Structure 1
Amino acid sequence: MTTLQQFNQQMQPAIDQTMQGVVVSHPLIGEYRGLKEMLSYHLGWDVKFNRGEVQGKRIRPLLVLLTCAACNNNHWEKALPAAAAVELLHNFSLIHDDIEDRSPLRRGRETVWKKWGDALAINAGDALFSLSFEALHNLKQTCSDNVVIQALKIVNTTCVKLTGGQHLDISYENERAIGLEDYWRMIEGKTAALISASIQLGAVIGGASDQTQQYLAEFGRSLGIAFQIQDDWLGIWGDAARTGKSTESDLLAGKKSLPIVFALQNKGKFTERWLAGPIQPEEVGYLANLLIEEGAQSYTEKQAENYTHQALQSLESANLSNEAGQALHELALMLLKRNS
């Protein structure tokens, strides 16, 4: 068993228990008929077996806890409220993203909006957003007031970046072409912000020095960008059976993912077809192959490699040499070489 697997076995049940303490055990949630059911469904608490398949990998709370432990002699329990907060915040964004993208599937089963409708799904997402801050306030039980204030500032700033990035993502759907600079700005908010915040929270709660916090912030930013680039790759060439999400959606919805944005700069056959009007389902395979021919796949892979190198270099500079630091490095490698 690897160091990461050992930490994961300890941390995942604690993350789940902390989240349930905020959501399921909340004195008010149970009073509103059906709301607890919806939240439990989305968070994967409605099934007894194979929970990991519908819950997701809980990557962001793991980053919080491992970073805290790496900065604090392998002690991570004090960061559990922050770990729960970022996962609840992430799931708020997923519920809303699925509505905005009209995605029928999430983690291999119906999304909340598909099952209950848009209005109730929006409300469920709002509930998770509110509960994420309740979770974060529980840091006052484990940390100083100064740390709690810093954590709140990180999360508040991240929420603006997160929604700002999503705003750009949706806005770009109405534009047939955008530049690469527009793309980088979008994913800085849409994906990199929350991953970076997870690592920053762990560093602050773990008592890292200012220099170490800076290295880890750089690590989180590069990791988040590389993660989104990989997601863009999977959105066109991934295996839907493994990702739990259709590989047609990005092309059909006019998403400005990195392969598409790159190809549009070349003004080749892909650009010609793209500018002619909405893509039809029967064209997806042809266009995915056209993106390969025009170098979009190799460019995307190269950018993923570049940001992977930057992320690992920044993590190495942070000099986190204990077991948790090793596990954090292992998790980063896993995220940067994923296929689902």
Structure 2
Amino acid sequence: MSSPTTREWGTAVSPTTLMRWARELVSPALRAAIAGLPAPERRVAGYHRGWHEADGSRPTDGADEGGKAVRPALTLLAAQAVGGPAECAVPGAVAVELVHDFSLLHDDVIDGDALRRHRPAAWAVYGTPAAVLTGDALLVCALRVLSGVPEPRGEAASKEMVEALADLMRGQSEDIAFEKAATVEAADYLAMAEGKTGALMGASCALGGVLAGASEQRVSDLRDFGRRLGVAYQCVDDLLGIWGESERSGKPVGADLAARKKSLPVVAALSAGGPAAERLASLYLGSEPLSESDIALAVTLIEESGGRERTELEAERQLAAAFRALSRARPVPEVYHRLHQVAWTLTHRDH
């Protein structure tokens, strides 16, 4: 699917249309990349993306088709934002989608989440070793895709991804460490989120600029846009993890509370002081998973302590910072509006 012009699309394009466009443009190259994996990892990756069922049959009606293509859309739009064609950024879009799937496969194993995209998670179907190895294979595949881009942009793109991966690993490590930490400051949590979620969104946007031949400053501004958007996205994700609906999100709601994970609403509530915060702290002192009644109590205490409100305000603050960074990148006006729409939708979702 070629990149539509303003005349074909009009000035107002729905985020749904943009995601479908990105998915259709990237899909052939993505499928080709995954087809090059060894058969066992190819099978797990295809199931994870919703391309087939565990037995290899065609997906049932309503299969997710591998997610919403958020990060590929950001990469393609970022290339257009600096005046390049979306097609030049396809390798970057494929790479970020492969890395995203790598992180999801590993996340589900680490967190013990048995549900992903409305279906059993890959590790629950094929076993932990198969899921971990498939994640590793996808990571290698992503770097191989970028290494195939002609120089000098290929080298710059590979470096961008490696730096993002370093931040991603740091964020994941800190996220796990926070589970056992007695206290976590909001600033430390936000720094973790910038790595865990912001790094890959930042790379998604930066890669679009790199592959379109943008200046280092414009690439930096695009990266900052993606990173701030990623942190805002994580704030919203934390809210949905407590107040969302599992039936709509395709993943368990309340699981983070049951495991006593310190998401931003919890961190904000614990630092608020007062009876509700103290009672929440006592709930988090134990080691066994919280019961359903304890989870319900924790939700009430978090809200009473202001954890929900403070997280909503932080999401708004990060989104505003993202839009400022995007403006600094001097994007093509029509593409600015498309990126603005995507960012707004990502941070104002209810599932």
Compute the displacement of 1:116 (Å).
1.2
1:275 equivalent in alignment to 2:275: no
The one of 13, 38, 41 aligned to 1:29: 38
Contact 1:54–1:107 (8 Å) recurs in 2 = no
1:211 equivalent in alignment to 2:217: yes
Structure 2 SS opposite 1:208: coil
Structure holding more helix per residue: 1
- AA matched with 1:150: A
The one of 32, 42, 46 aligned to 1:40: 46
Q: Distance in 2 between matches of 1:110 and 1:324?
A: 37
Instruction: Encode CA deviations 1:86-123: one digit per residue, 9 max, x unaligned.
Output: 10011001000000000000111100111111111111
Over aligned residue pairs, what C-alpha RMSD do you find? 1.9
Compute the displacement of 1:54 (Å).
4.7
Alignment length, in residue pairs?
330
Q: Which runs of 5+ in 2 are unaligned?
A: 1-8, 53-57
Going from structure 1 to structure 2, the CA distance change for 1:115 and 1:72 (only over 3 Å counts) comes to same
TM-score (norm 2): 0.89
Contact 1:176–1:274 (8 Å) recurs in 2 = no
Compute the displacement of 1:337 (Å).
1.0
Going from structure 1 to structure 2, the CA distance change for 1:58 and 1:50 (only over 3 Å counts) comes to farther
Structure 2 SS opposite 1:246: coil
1:188 aligns to what? 194
2:129 aligns to what? 119
2:109 aligns to what? 99
Structure 1 SS opposite 2:213: coil
Going from structure 1 to structure 2, the CA distance change for 1:280 and 1:175 (only over 3 Å counts) comes to farther
The one of 125, 129, 135 aligned to 2:139: 129
Aligned runs of 1:128-277 on 2, under 5 Å?
128-140=138-150, 145-265=151-271, 266=273, 267-277=277-287
TM-score (norm 1): 0.91
Going from structure 1 to structure 2, the CA distance change for 1:36 and 1:214 (only over 3 Å counts) comes to closer
2:323 aligns to what? 312
Structure 2 SS opposite 1:339: coil
Structure 1 SS opposite 2:331: coil
Contact 1:54–1:108 (8 Å) recurs in 2 = no
Q: Which has the higher contact order (CA 8 A, sep 6+)?
A: 1
Structure 1 SS opposite 2:149: helix
Q: Distance in 2 between matches of 1:169 and 1:42?
A: 23
Instruction: Encode CA deviations 1:217-256: one digit per residue, 9 max, x unaligned.
Output: 2211211110111111111111111111111111111211
- AA matched with 1:204: V
Q: Distance in 2 between matches of 1:105 and 1:6?
A: 27
Q: Identity rate of aligned residues, in percent?
A: 34
Q: Which runs of 5+ in 1 are unaligned?
A: none
Instruction: Encode CA deviations 1:131-167: one digit per residue, 9 max, x unaligned.
Output: 1112222322xxxx12111111111111111111111
Structure 2 SS opposite 1:53: coil
